[in-house]
Structure 1
Amino acid sequence: MKHTVLAASILAGLSGQALGATYTLSELPRFEGAKYTFISDVNDKGEIIGAASSIFNLPIDISYIDFEDADIKDAYENTKDSYETIDEEISFTLEDIKNGAAATNADANSFMLGFLSGRANNAKYQKIQDRIALNIDAVSAEEQVLFDVQTQDTNGLTRSVSNYLTSISEDGVIAGWGSAPFSKTTFTPEGESEAETFFVRDWNSRGIVFSPQGEKITLAPEFSEHGGFSIANDIKKLDDGGYLVVGQSSVGIPENRQNNYDENCDDKDEPLAVCAWQRQLSSQFYDLRAFQWKLDENFNVVSTANLGLGLTPKDDENDAFVSAALATNKSGIAVGYSPYREGDDLYPYGVAGYFEGGQFKPFKTLENWYELGKATDINNNNIAVGYMAENIRGSVLDQYAFYYDLNEDKYVQLPYFFKGSKTVATDINDAGYIIGQAEIEKNSSNRRREGFIYKIGDTKITNINDLLPCKDSNGNNFPYTIAEAIKITESNHIYAIATKTVERRDRLGNIEKDSKGEIEYESVTLPVLLTPNPNGEVDDCAPPEAETYERQSGSWSVLSLLALPFVWLRRRKLTLARSSS
């Protein structure tokens, strides 16, 4: 396959970091207006979508806030006390914030973000989402606006919406989902004489498709009362020129949830939109189903389909049931998760499986009611990947990755780095190489995860960091650690999220310094491309006693991986488990 102009420019223009290792690392563009940049999908042309979080200089609307209220005064005093415990003096007052300091003083901005975050479920306070969607090319990462709007209250976008781009087709059509923006309104509760400020929105989530020309196509839910709910997790271009999108849609409301709404939402104490929003904060407000939308070549929705559920609810089961499709292949086989019932045994948490003929089929014979899991990807050879686990008394235990061959009805658990290492498979290419991430530390309350690669048929998985050099071009320790492996192409190029130590920046984007004037540093996430190096060898970075697992942990030959043809980029998508918003 010929390299596209964009792909070639990425190869030529980004800073390579290989010194004889089996993979060359190139740092992809980061979004300059945030600390963290992620990727979620790539297509054959090298077009990348992703996200950024910890956005600098988020807008704070103070116009409605009563700075004499005890709530904000107490929050300020608590913050002031925390400064004093570390022998520092707070750099702002509430009067400063009232006069606009949240836009100029990073500490004031951080205080207000924390104050608002603690009241995220209170409709009387501004809503802020600290994540944006991105389009990434060879030189920059630019914001992609989904449903947000401009407002005078924030002198720009409201920054009150969810933003997720999840999949991009081979010809650049993007799928994802987001929420409606919050707007500020006044309402006088029954029996009161003064109007109060409330923040309201029209709906919780909508799937969306972007054409290559930027046209937006909203994917309506099957059931839209009180706003409804839909998300798009994957998109594939079909041979007829149309597109197949899979995700999730609301299909109804359980009777007890509707009764609760009818009894409490009377437009007396608060606006109806607030009452609906508060109930939608629970993931059990709507019945949600794995869902499919088919679009023609002009992006008209020509058909929709409820993909099904792994059980038939009984008459006395009034709670919501949730299934979701996370990925599909070109044959239209969708995979994801659903609660499941076998005889009288109910598996309520949702287990990994596939959807066929309006029915859900689990990938494995289930043995315990507390099993759970999700299928995260399926290749064009009908081999799916994902993870399974056990949920015992609220604790997720023994989480392992798997692959399932639909052609042979064959379920295989992937190896661990060590027994008890929680492992997730995120992507598989058509050649049978699987990537994901797994815990690498045995004795830690907060176990670190790193990316792995595995070839179907092998006995071990390999830590991707073992395929990178030990030193950079200056002889220093290699500055990147692969934390998550996101995409693997047919040529075994890997798109991943790495951690790297950089200058620390505050909430306004300024470089931070300590009391001595020295620059402080922190670890951030950033997107990288790993390109196979046919002349490389695995470096021996540490003595055997320093390793937590064998350095050469994979049994497959590195040369066999490199011998595959360099096709540059194939499209796949990662959407990890999401039961609902």
Structure 2
Amino acid sequence: MKFKLLAASIAVAISQQAVAATYQLTELPRHANSKYTNVSDANEAGEVIGQASNLFGVKIDVSYIDFDDSNLKNYYDNAKLQYEKIDEPITFTLDDIQNNNAANTNAQAHAFMLSYITSASRSASLEYQQVNRSISLMFNNNTAEEFVVFDEQSPDYQGLTRSVSNYLTGIADDGTIVGWGSAPYKKITFTKDGETEVDTYFVRDWRNKGVLITPAGEKIALEPAFAEHGGLSLATDIKQTNDGGYVVVGQSSTSLSKRTIESIEDNCDGVDEPVEVCIQRLSNPYHTRAYKWTFDNDFNLTSATDLGLAFTPDEDSEIAYSSIAIATNANGLTVGDSRARRQSNDDLLPNDQAVYFKEGEIKRIKEVESFYEYSQAIDVNDNGIIIGAFGRTANGSKENDSTGFYFDTNTSEFKEMPAYFENSVTVVNDINNNGFVVGQGVVEKSGSSRRREAFLYEIGADKLVNINSLLPCKSDDFPYTIGEAVKITDDNKIYAVATKTVERRNTLGEIEKDSKGEIEYESVTLPVVLTPISGEPETCTPPEAETYERQSASWSWLSLLALPLVALRRRRK
């Protein structure tokens, strides 16, 4: 590899011709007991953290279920009808679930009960088991192992409760990790005043709490600044400082909104339901602020700082306002978003706006062109280049309108990034210190579910490049499509999420077969690392269904191979 890098750097020096670099793909381990495995961050040493979803075999607790409930019976009848429509017999009854543990042994029954208890109305009621099939992962050379943030062993069935959210979001150069998780739900009983019937509810001690995980595996909770009714905190990024300490950024609750206080006083009296159930149903109860925590090199907390809000709320305002820090660099420059006012007329904007936090100030990155415009700063490199996205909400959704941008804090230059085509939705994820950005963009101009593929972009270039065009052509020997690029390190390795066709598995993890007994297949996500190598990419013949014409590079991709030599000199000791 050193020889290839040296040869590449010489080629750049003696030739003005742009020759595209290619990437070598290596699969990272998949979590063995989940359908999907993704990567969330990696450091320069190659240590990787991630997430798995659609966990197999989650235990279903039916001890509290009322099997005489007409809603449950109707749900079963509808499920039976759906099986009949595809000419497949249903293999369980409600009696099997109630008396024979079918919900944890029969794949159809397991999927049925999982669907029933996690439907939006039942999950929100807190009268049903709370299930989250997503887990956090730490990768090593051979496996992707679950890392338990705050979950606990269930008192009702064997194993963890599987009722929590878990996210590992950032990893420092020495392997220190940050993230957050929710408290596990616990089952309580309640009897309304004047009644004898006992109701079951599921409650938790707090919503989310940030966590720092040392290289030795010790978990240090980031307690919220305001912890009434549990509070809330998140950790989104971490950087190691020159003196060996750490800067962690994220968000913390700072107070309850006036509307929440009034709602608790008026409604949460403990007469018709437990007080904690009433409170936990409230949405957005807290004022939350971007927060920064600093630790010394022995992981002692040395400061916790409220980074503020981008405007001053009216004194009589009843609703909760928020800001959040998403990323920070080695120089302490932190980026994120905040509620804000329109700069031209001081109107309060309905959507969050991209900001950066520096030396006690909050600075807006761009002025809105539309009242319904939103923006968010996603990452910042050590040179002060911020990347993010902006767009306009439509019916409260940001999914169909997102444009990448970069902003130079040294010159205040704001630039919109190019996209695969005009109006293609673009999502940016990471920027390295060499000025390369990775993310994903829509590559199909029409269709109800338009495909997205990963891109690589150099700050200042005229176009972004589809990462798949820098890989071998798709074939039986190379069955990958890179849907999202998540991280690019300073040696230009790209950590990404690929799709691949594998055997279909049901919710218990069993391989599924069709009516003829033949194995069925499906597309899943898996984590990969892409390493720069010298050479020119293949010229691929796109399949008939392909609607996006692959771009050739318009700038010197061989510079990607030379840059690691520079990056090694820049890296902090």
If the length of structure 2 is used for normalisation, what is the TM-score? Answer: 0.92
Q: 1:407 to 1:452 in 2, by over 3 A?
A: same
Q: 2:211 aligns with which of 202, 205, 208?
A: 208
**Residue matched to 1:578:** none
**Residue matched to 1:306:** 306
Whether 1:265 aligns to 2:280 is: no
Distance 2:568 2:153 in 1: 36
Q: 1:369 to 1:276 in 2, by over 3 A?
A: same
The aligned amino acid for 2:254 is V
Q: 1:92 to 1:222 in 2, by over 3 A?
A: same
Contact (CA 8 Å) 1:470, 1:541: kept in 2 or not?
yes
Displacement after TM superposition at 1:566 (Å): 5.7
**Residue matched to 2:396:** 394
**Residue matched to 2:277:** 274
Q: 2:228 aligns with which of 225, 229, 248?
A: 225
Distance 2:234 2:137 in 1: 17
**Residue matched to 1:363:** 365
Q: 1:189 to 1:209 in 2, by over 3 A?
A: same
**Residue matched to 1:440:** 443
Distance 1:301 1:211 in 2: 13
1:69-148 map, 5 Å: 69-98=69-98, 99-118=100-119, 119-148=122-151
Displacement after TM superposition at 1:166 (Å): 0.3
Distance 2:566 2:264 in 1: 54
Q: 1:392 to 1:511 in 2, by over 3 A?
A: closer
**Residue matched to 1:344:** 346
Contact (CA 8 Å) 1:540, 1:551: kept in 2 or not?
no
Q: 2:471 aligns with which of 453, 456, 468?
A: 468
Displacement after TM superposition at 1:106 (Å): 0.9
1:168-187 map, 5 Å: 168-187=171-190
SS at match of 1:554: coil
Moved more, 449-458 or 190-199: 190-199
The aligned amino acid for 2:275 is L
Distance 2:198 2:513 in 1: 45
Contact (CA 8 Å) 2:49, 2:139: kept in 1 or not?
yes
Whether 1:196 aligns to 2:195 is: no
Displacement after TM superposition at 1:374 (Å): 1.0
Contact (CA 8 Å) 2:39, 2:497: kept in 1 or not?
yes
Distance 2:523 2:505 in 1: 11
SS at match of 2:82: helix
Contact (CA 8 Å) 2:443, 2:450: kept in 1 or not?
yes
Whether 1:323 aligns to 2:288 is: no
Displacement after TM superposition at 1:27 (Å): 0.5
**Residue matched to 2:563:** 564
Contact (CA 8 Å) 1:376, 1:427: kept in 2 or not?
yes
Contact (CA 8 Å) 1:306, 1:358: kept in 2 or not?
no
SS at match of 2:259: helix
SS at match of 2:357: strand
**Residue matched to 2:508:** 508
Q: 1:503 to 1:566 in 2, by over 3 A?
A: farther
1:384-423 map, 5 Å: 384-396=386-398, 398-423=401-426
Distance 2:444 2:477 in 1: 20
Question: Among the aligned pairs, what percent are the same residue?
Answer: 54
Displacement after TM superposition at 1:33 (Å): 0.3
The aligned amino acid for 1:368 is S
Displacement after TM superposition at 1:571 (Å): 13
Q: 1:273 to 1:545 in 2, by over 3 A?
A: closer
SS at match of 1:528: strand
Distance 1:24 1:543 in 2: 20
**Residue matched to 1:576:** none
**Residue matched to 1:579:** none
SS at match of 1:36: strand
**Residue matched to 2:36:** 36
Displacement after TM superposition at 1:478 (Å): 2.9
Q: What per-residue deviation string (whole Å, max 9, x for no partner) do you get for residues 333-355 of structure 1? A: 11011111124232221011211
**Residue matched to 1:354:** 356
**Residue matched to 1:575:** none
SS at match of 1:112: helix
Contact (CA 8 Å) 2:483, 2:498: kept in 1 or not?
yes
Q: 1:452 aligns with which of 437, 451, 455?
A: 455
Q: 1:548 to 1:91 in 2, by over 3 A?
A: same
Matched pairs, number: 548
**Residue matched to 2:488:** 488
Displacement after TM superposition at 1:395 (Å): 4.8
Q: 1:124 to 1:569 in 2, by over 3 A?
A: farther
Q: 1:549 to 1:76 in 2, by over 3 A?
A: closer
Moved more, 522-531 or 269-278: 269-278
SS at match of 1:198: strand
The aligned amino acid for 1:26 is T
Moved more, 43-52 or 494-503: 43-52
**Residue matched to 1:9:** none
Distance 2:544 2:97 in 1: 54
Displacement after TM superposition at 1:154 (Å): 2.2
Q: What per-residue deviation string (whole Å, max 9, x for no partner) do you get for residues 313-338 of structure 1? A: 01343211111111000111110111
Contact (CA 8 Å) 1:470, 1:477: kept in 2 or not?
no
Displacement after TM superposition at 1:546 (Å): 7.6
User: Which consecutive unaligned segments of at least 5 residues does structure 1 have?
Assistant: 3-19, 573-581
Contact (CA 8 Å) 1:21, 1:468: kept in 2 or not?
no
Distance 2:565 2:513 in 1: 45
Whether 1:241 aligns to 2:240 is: no
Contact (CA 8 Å) 2:287, 2:322: kept in 1 or not?
yes
Distance 2:42 2:397 in 1: 34
Q: 2:376 aligns with which of 368, 374, 377?
A: 374
Contact (CA 8 Å) 1:31, 1:141: kept in 2 or not?
yes
Whether 1:156 aligns to 2:159 is: yes
Contact (CA 8 Å) 1:39, 1:48: kept in 2 or not?
yes
SS at match of 2:313: coil
Contact (CA 8 Å) 1:459, 1:554: kept in 2 or not?
no
**Residue matched to 1:11:** none
Q: What per-residue deviation string (whole Å, max 9, x for no partner) do you get for residues 45-83 of structure 1? A: 211111100001001111111212222111111111111
Distance 2:180 2:294 in 1: 16
Q: What per-residue deviation string (whole Å, max 9, x for no partner) do you get for residues 95-142 of structure 1? A: 111120111111111001100111111121110101000011111000
SS at match of 2:374: strand
The aligned amino acid for 1:479 is P
**Residue matched to 1:383:** 385
**Residue matched to 1:54:** 54
User: Which consecutive unaligned segments of at least 5 residues does structure 2 have?
Assistant: 3-19
Q: 1:65 to 1:547 in 2, by over 3 A?
A: closer
Displacement after TM superposition at 1:297 (Å): 1.9
**Residue matched to 1:5:** none
Q: 1:547 to 1:457 in 2, by over 3 A?
A: farther
Displacement after TM superposition at 1:549 (Å): 4.2
Q: What per-residue deviation string (whole Å, max 9, x for no partner) do you get for residues 134-165 of structure 1? A: 01111100000000011231211000000000
Contact (CA 8 Å) 1:164, 1:176: kept in 2 or not?
yes
Displacement after TM superposition at 1:525 (Å): 0.2
Moved more, 548-557 or 345-354: 548-557
SS at match of 1:353: strand
Contact (CA 8 Å) 1:41, 1:571: kept in 2 or not?
no
Moved more, 35-44 or 352-361: 352-361
Distance 2:569 2:157 in 1: 40
Q: 1:549 to 1:103 in 2, by over 3 A?
A: closer
SS at match of 1:160: coil
If the length of structure 1 is used for normalisation, what is the TM-score? Answer: 0.91
Contact (CA 8 Å) 2:43, 2:489: kept in 1 or not?
no
Q: 1:427 aligns with which of 426, 430, 435?
A: 430
Distance 1:379 1:358 in 2: 19
Q: 1:295 to 1:326 in 2, by over 3 A?
A: same
